[in-house]
Amino acid sequence: MDHFLYRNGILHAEDVPLPQIAAEVGTPFYVYSCATLTRHYRLFEEALAGMEHLVCFAMKSNSNQAVIAHLAGLGAGMDVVSGGEYLRAKAAGVPGERIVFSGVGKTKDEMRMALKGGIRQFNVESEPELIALSEVATSLGVTAPITVRVNPDVDAKTHEKIATGKSENKFGIPIAKAPAVYAMAAKLPGIEVIGIDVHIGSQLTELEPFRLAYEKVRELTLRLRADGHDIRRLDLGGGLGIPYERSNTAPPLPTEYGALIREVFHDLDVEIEIEPGRLISGNAGILVASVIYVKEGEGRDFLILDAAMNDLVRPAMYGAWHDIIPVVEPAPGLDQRPYDIVGPVCESGDTFAKQRQMPAIGPGELVAFRSAGAYGAVMSSEYNTRPLIPEVLVKDDHMAVIRARPTFDEIINRDTIPSWV
């Protein structure tokens, strides 16, 4: 459920009509709903109620500071994967003790930054990273709390580009090697082992892969405790999928996911941490674009929008589906016709949808891409010197531009031409 609904025939973001935002900021733009962010964050809170836990929002899915500040205000922690994300979280007011540092290639500079600024834990992904962290921590005279990310070799049954829990993926250490790596960690100065981390992939639409991975983590917890390690926190990653295509069967709900976690771990006396991104931010955002032209091709009509693959890359990159709906509600029973919905970028890959059924629509009209709040703005680029599009946040009838569209001067002045060119 989200808060982008038709009212009096016009699509609204909460209480704000989208044409009003379009008139103020121009198209294309992203708009996020505080109510939907809150609702989805709380679903996880409720799903884990009664167990000691922290929900750490995976900032990579949407790192606008207004979004982060809103979630942090509800009590969320943050899962960061770079020094930049760490600084953003801090700038948005998230305390270090609620920031988890994930990622397969943390540099020593990033480790230093987090150790100085405060960190809840590092999720370490390899032995060389463990050694580097030990060196940085001892050089600063501090101790780094860590989990080791294990790779359980489980098929997440998702798109191959976003599966992370198979042995062929670059993530984590093979779970069979874990006892040896924990033994090594326990001996290293400046390192304090506190738990285990696992994340098997994104946009998972079934619970079974989570169950397989979590049962392996449970066994490992018992084994590592028997080896004398104080395993008191389990970071179970993110990955729960969302229904992009409303006509498809919906993925499991956070309540069902929470019930699984409870079932597998309830008797272990551990603190649970999860790192959901998409399920919190995905349906809390839409991308609004205008139709520039309707072009009649041979045997097909092209709807040419002012948004392109540089603004929302998911369809081009993963063949992902986003529902695309007109902002003015079509009259019931209106005939639908197939369109190829494309952007203005000079690549055939700049196609959002092929032969998508939509009511007839003309130039100047607005359309909305649903479920665009996660991995939308954060993955955008200025390809074709198309400025990054604005982000707007809505709460009830309030709206605010939370990232403005840069001017062409700002973009062009970023380059320098050396005198010897």
318 labelled binding-site residue: yes
From residue 356 to residue 395, the character string flagging contacts with ligand LLP as x (rule: CB under 6 A) and all else as - is: ------------------xx--------------------
Tell me how far apart the alpha carbons of residues 82 and 103 are, in angstroms, rounded to a whole number: 7
Nearer to ligand LLP, 309 or 374 (CB): 374
Q: How far is the CB of 38 from ligand LLP (least distance, A)?
A: 17
Nearer to ligand LLP, 388 or 411 (CB): 388
Binding to ligand LLP, residues 68-87 (CB under 6 A) = 79
Nearer to ligand LLP, 3 or 314 (CB): 314
Among residues 64, 102, 151, 371, which is the contact residue for ligand LLP, using CB under 6 A? 102
DSSP string covering 315-384: HHHH-----EEESBPPPTTPPEEEEEEE-SSSSTT-EEEEEEEEE---TT-EEEESS-SSSSGGG---GG
Q: How far is the CB of 356 from ligand LLP (least distance, A)?
A: 19
Helix or strand run (H / E) with residue 225: helix 208-226
The residue count for the chain: 421
Q: Decide if 56 is catalytic.
A: no
3-state secondary structure (DSSP) of residue 60: helix
Count residues contacting ligand LLP (CB under 6 A)? Answer: 21
Among residues 88, 233, 278, 395, which is the contact residue for ligand LLP, using CB under 6 A? 278
Only one of the segments 29-37, 195-203, 322-330, 361-369 lies at the binding site for ligand LLP (rule: CB under 6 A); that segment is: 195-203
3-state secondary structure (DSSP) of residue 193: strand
Only one of the segments 17-25, 199-207, 335-343, 413-421 lies at the binding site for ligand LLP (rule: CB under 6 A); that segment is: 199-207
Burial track 224-247 (b if 16+ CB lie within 10 A, e otherwise): beeeebebebbbbbbbbbbbbeee
Q: Is 238 in the site for ligand LLP (CB under 6 A)?
A: yes
276 labelled binding-site residue: yes
Cβ burial, residue 344 (10 Å; 0-12/13-18/19+)? middle
Nearest to 210 by CA among 145, 161, 276: 276
Tell me how far apart the alpha carbons of residues 241 and 277 are, in angstroms, rounded to a whole number: 10
239 labelled binding-site residue: yes
Amino acid, res. 269: D
Among residues 314, 322, 370, 395, which is the contact residue for ligand LLP, using CB under 6 A? 314
**Inter-helix orientation angle 127-140/178-187, to 10°:** 20
Tell me how far apart the alpha carbons of residues 352 and 350 are, in angstroms, rounded to a whole number: 7
Q: How far is the CB of 235 from ligand LLP (least distance, A)?
A: 8
Contact criterion met (CB below 8 Å) for 104 and 126 = yes
Tell me how far apart the alpha carbons of residues 370 and 94 are, in angstroms, rounded to a whole number: 28
Tell me how far apart the alpha carbons of residues 293 and 275 are, in angstroms, rounded to a whole number: 41
Q: How far is the CB of 240 from ligand LLP (least distance, A)?
A: 6
278 labelled binding-site residue: yes
Kindly report the number of other CB atoms within 10 A of residue 163's CB atom. 22
Among residues 54, 58, 213, 361, which is the contact residue for ligand LLP, using CB under 6 A? 58
Q: Which two tokens stand for residue 318?
A: 């993963």
Only one of the segments 179-187, 221-229, 235-243, 340-348 lies at the binding site for ligand LLP (rule: CB under 6 A); that segment is: 235-243
Find the catalytic residue in 331, 346, 417, 421: 346
Q: Kindly state the DSSP code that residue 204 receives in the 8-state scheme.
A: B
Among residues 38, 82, 147, 202, which is the contact residue for ligand LLP, using CB under 6 A? 202
347 labelled binding-site residue: yes
386 labelled binding-site residue: no
Q: Is 251 in the site for ligand LLP (CB under 6 A)?
A: no
Q: Is 162 in the site for ligand LLP (CB under 6 A)?
A: yes
Among residues 12, 199, 229, 386, which is the contact residue for ligand LLP, using CB under 6 A? 199
Q: How far is the CB of 172 from ligand LLP (least distance, A)?
A: 9
Residues that bind ligand LLP (CB under 6 A): 58, 60-61, 79, 102, 162, 199, 202-203, 237-239, 275-279, 314, 318, 374-375
Active site (catalytic) residues:
346
